[in-house]
Amino acid sequence: MEQKATQKERVSKKYGALISYYTEVWALAYNTVSSHPVLSTLDPMGKKTTTTTLFLRACSRMDKSDEQSAKAKAEVLETISNSAEERKAV
């Protein structure tokens, strides 16, 4: 009988890539703030707040992009389905 994976292993397998992806987005936001001529002069709390804002805005944009992509795919599938139904009716 195969032994069940530990909770840590299951969580890592399911969410590991996703967490790594968002970590990269956060790092990009942090590096942008750190290397920007004006933003790099902010105090540590200002840098953290700005990084968080950039991260959240980037994630929001990605969500909207995913939504639009899903809607476009759904419309294509609906069009294909409708044309298939029309051909069956003829």
Q: How confident is the model at residue 19 (pLDDT cuts 50, 70, 90)?
A: very high
Amino acid at 77: L
Predicted confidence (pLDDT) per residue in 67-88, tens digit: 777 777 788 778 887 776 676 6
Predicted confidence (pLDDT) per residue in 29-80, tens digit: 999 999 999 999 999 999 999 999 999 999 998 888 777 777 777 887 788 8
In whole angstroms, how far apart are CA 74 and each of 43, 78, 82?
A: 47, 6, 12
For residue 90, give the H/E element and its range. Answer: none
DSSP state of 21: H
Checking if the pLDDT of 89 tops 90, the result is no
This model's pTM is above 0.75: no
